[in-house]
Structure formats: structure tokens, C-alpha cells
């Protein structure tokens, strides 16, 4: 079945460590996104990519990095520079172009906890 | 800053009752979307309404949009326990569709 797969679902990190969250999609979508969700708050955009080898900062990019070497993959690295990384991270995609209705397709999320 | 803000923050009703959630936003939009999130899961798209539309239906869902008041409402009719979830509105705002802005959501609890 087509969809977005995020891994791992749960991740624990010690302070000072970098961690990478995986996001893979087989929907053939051009655009991919990373959002952060904190309790009682809406989603906030970290980074997005409209095409391979290109990505743009969102509203809260500091302390995060991404790459887009393949259309199917958009990994997010949470670096030690991110001061408050404990959160629920959501990856999403949409097709762009004429087939784009603006709807985002989401993965199931990755919950990162800093110990 | 958040573009969309939902009201109420939490809503508790009995099965069979209707649930109404409201969303307000600040800047002009091209469209407004509603998403659902079950606890600990990803978001699922429910419905999209364009700025030139006033009302849209999908099954038990009815969405209205009032661009003059910069507000939208989501009505779920004849609610079921399975409707228990958080509901978020999202607007495209000044950044376009690549920068959807989500509200903080309404937590809906439907009791059997």
C-alpha cells in the first residue's frame, strides 16, 4: 500500500547526541515536510522540500538539518544544538503540480525523548 | 505566530450528539483544511474548503467558511465513540500551500 513510513516510532536520546529520524514515501510525491508537535500546540514547520536536492527552512529550523538525495526519502537530523528536542515529529508529503489539492499526507510520527 | 486557532480547546459529548468546532485565522487564505489526529498517531485529512466556497459536506462532516469573519466551523453530526480525536484546522496563509499553518486543535471526546 502507498504511504509514508516514519521510523523509529519511539527514540530516546542523551543530551549532546545527534539523532536522525527517517521518512520514506512511495506515493511518488515531489514535496515533503517535517513538522514538530508539542503537547497542546499545533504543528510547526521545521523544513520542507519541493524537489530532490532542494529544501527550505520552515519556522523553527534552528537545531535541525535535512537532506533530500532521493525523491522517496527526507530524513531529519535533530542536532545537539536543538535546546528542547523532546517532541512528536511528523513527516508529510503532497504531490505538487496539477494533482496537488493542497492536502498533506502524514506518516504516523516519531516520538523523541531526551533523557 | 499561529494562523488558525480552534475553539473550544476541548469538547465532551455523548454518542449521537452533534459536535461543532470553530477555527479563526488572521490573514487572507486560498483554502482552509481540517485534519483529524487520533492519540499518538499522524494526521488524516478530512476536508478542504476553498476561499470562494461557503459550505462543504463530506459524509457526516459539514464545514463552513466565512472569509469576512476569517472563521470556519466543522460540524460532526450524529457523533460516534470512534470520532474521539483531536481536530485541527490548517490554512495556507501568506506562505502558500507549502507553509500550512495549524491551529492548536480541539480535543473531542465522544462517550458511549
pLDDT digits (tens, 9 = 90+) for B57-78: 999 999 999 999 999 999 999 9
Residues of B in contact with A41 (CB under 8 A): 104
Q: What is the pLDDT of residue A115?
A: 86
Nearest chain B residue (CA) to A55: B98
Residue B38 confidence (pLDDT) above 90:
yes
Nearest chain B residue (CA) to A49: B98
Beta strands in chain A (DSSP E): 4-7, 10-13, 19-25, 31-37, 43-51, 54-57, 64-66, 76-78, 87-94, 105-106, 110-114
- Contact yes or no for A42 and B104 at CB 8 A: yes
| B78: alpha, beta or left? (left if phi > 0; alpha if psi -120 to 50) | left
CA angle B56, B61, B67 (to 5 degrees): 40
| A77-91, A93-107, B14-28: range with lowest mean pLDDT | A93-107
Strand order from edge to edge, sheet including A76-78:
A4-7, A19-25, A76-78, A64-66
Mean pLDDT of A88-101: 81
Residues of A in contact with B99 (CB under 8 A): 45, 48, 58-59
Residue A1 confidence (pLDDT) above 70:
no
Q: What is the pLDDT of residue B1?
A: 43
pLDDT band, residue B3 (cuts 50/70/90): low
Q: Which of A41-55, B26-40, B54-68, B97-111 has the highest mean pLDDT?
A: B54-68
- Which carries the bigger pLDDT value, residue B100 or residue B3? B100
**B44 at A interface, C-beta within 8 A:** yes
Residue A68 confidence (pLDDT) above 90:
yes
CA distance B112 to chain A (A): 25
Using CB atoms, pick whichever of B44, B48, B88 lies closest to residue A101.
B48
Amino acid at each position: 500500500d502507498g504511504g509514508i513510513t516514519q521510523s523509529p516510532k519511539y527514540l530516546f536520546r542523551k543530551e549532546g547526541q545527534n539523532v536522525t529520524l527517517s521518512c520514506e514515501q512511495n506515493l511518488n510525491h515531489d514535496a515533503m515536510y517535517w513538522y514538530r508537535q508539542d503537547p497542546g500546540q499545533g504543528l510547526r514547520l521545521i523544513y520542507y522540500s519541493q524537489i530532490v536536492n532542494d529544501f527550505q527552512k520552515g519556522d523553527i529550523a534552528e537545531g535541525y538539518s535535512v537532506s533530500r538525495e532521493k525523491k522517496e526519502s527526507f530524513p531529519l537530523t535533530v542536532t545537539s544544538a536543538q535546546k528542547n528536542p523532546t517532541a512528536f515529529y511528523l513527516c508529510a508529503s503532497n504531490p505538487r503540480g496539477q494533482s496537488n489539492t493542497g492536502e498533506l499526507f502524514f506518516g504516523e510520527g516519531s516520538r523523541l525523548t531526551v533523557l | 505566530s499561529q494562523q488558525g486557532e480552534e475553539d473550544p480547546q476541548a469538547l465532551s459529548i455523548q454518542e449521537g450528539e452533534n459536535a461543532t468546532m470553530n477555527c479563526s485565522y488572521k490573514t487572507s487564505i486560498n483554502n482552509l483544511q481540517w485534519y483529524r489526529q487520533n492519540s499518538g498517531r499522524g494526521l488524516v485529512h478530512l476536508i478542504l474548503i476553498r476561499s470562494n466556497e461557503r459550505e462543504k459536506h463530506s459524509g457526516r462532516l459539514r464545514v463552513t467558511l466565512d472569509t469576512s469573519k476569517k472563521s470556519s466551523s466543522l460540524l460532526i453530526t450524529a457523533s460516534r465513540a470512534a470520532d474521539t480525536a483531536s481536530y485541527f484546522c490548517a490554512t495556507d496563509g501568506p506562505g502558500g500551500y507549502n507553509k500550512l499553518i495549524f491551529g492548536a486543535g480541539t480535543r473531542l471526546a465522544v462517550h458511549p
